[in-house]
Amino acid sequence: MASDVTLELLDREEVMTVECEQDLTMDQLLVTMADICHISPVARGLFAFKQAGRWLPPSHTVSAETGALQLRLRYKMPDWRSRDRASNLKNVDPKAFQYFYSQVRKDFDCGLVCNKKVAGEKDQKWWVPIIQPGARDKREDRLIELNVNMLELVGRNMAIDVMDEVIDKKEVLKNVKSYIPKDLYSGLEKMMLVKMLQANVEGYVDKLLKAYQPTMSSMQIKDEFLKLTEKFFPTYFCESFSAQYDEGGRVLEVR
């Protein structure tokens, strides 16, 4: 018996609905979806399906799941973070690499890569009083560091969109706010960041375009975006799980 399955592929905007047999496993479905995304069998094993924040085992069947499935790259190749050389994923399978960039870029824009909880400022305001006696507040130092990091990441995404002809350079500079991660800033702090970006991002984007446009490809700058994202926000790329163990008759939990 067949059933409809909703699939979210992160290299495109539209959501897909496909008809599958109910005994089809996630592993079998992965083969079909990887083929649609032009991901090679070599890199296919790096991907898995996620649903409502939960990774699905390869043996799960379509009939056992309800709701949209999201195809995501889950496992990264060794030494991919080295900025001294190109990502080995980019060399092994350029389509898988492009999908990885689209995945992280979408999470970045939606505020999943970095938000106030990730940044360690839950329920606190980033901004501090203008008149500050004595040493500079630690939150102010973190805000300055965060804003510099945002310039590097946002500037790269702008340059990528210009190089990929997604948007004209003049238009991209008019839409600075749309490149800022959702829910990371609010109120005064967002206004301060926008002003900082507007004052600096044009020169930064020009510098990036001058360096990368002669290659006629945005692949290298996408590689740098991914590596810098992990450098600035390493917890985004980590997984943690709860486990229980017995110690002298007491059940304890560890992550």
Calculate ∠ Cα 106-56-36, nearest 5°.
55
If one counts every other C-beta atom within 10 angstroms of the C-beta of residue 179, the result is 19
For CA atoms 168, 172, 178, 181, the dihedral sign is positive
Amino acid at 84: D
Predicted TM-score (pTM) of the model is 0.84
Q: How far apart are CA 37 and CA 70, in angstroms?
A: 13
Place of tokens 């991919």: 80
Say if residues 116 and 122 touch (Cβ distance below 8 Å): yes
CA nearest neighbour of 182 among 112, 84, 89, 94: 112
Place of tokens 């799980």: 241
Q: How far apart are CA 158 and CA 207, in angstroms?
A: 12
Q: How does pLDDT run along the chain (255 residues), one tens digit per residue? A: 678 889 999 999 999 998 888 889 999 999 999 999 999 999 999 999 999 889 999 999 887 566 889 999 999 876 655 666 678 898 899 999 999 999 999 999 999 998 766 555 444 443 334 444 554 567 777 778 888 899 999 999 999 999 999 999 889 888 888 998 888 777 777 788 888 888 888 899 999 999 988 877 899 999 999 999 999 999 888 887 778 877 777 887 876
Amino acid at 66: T
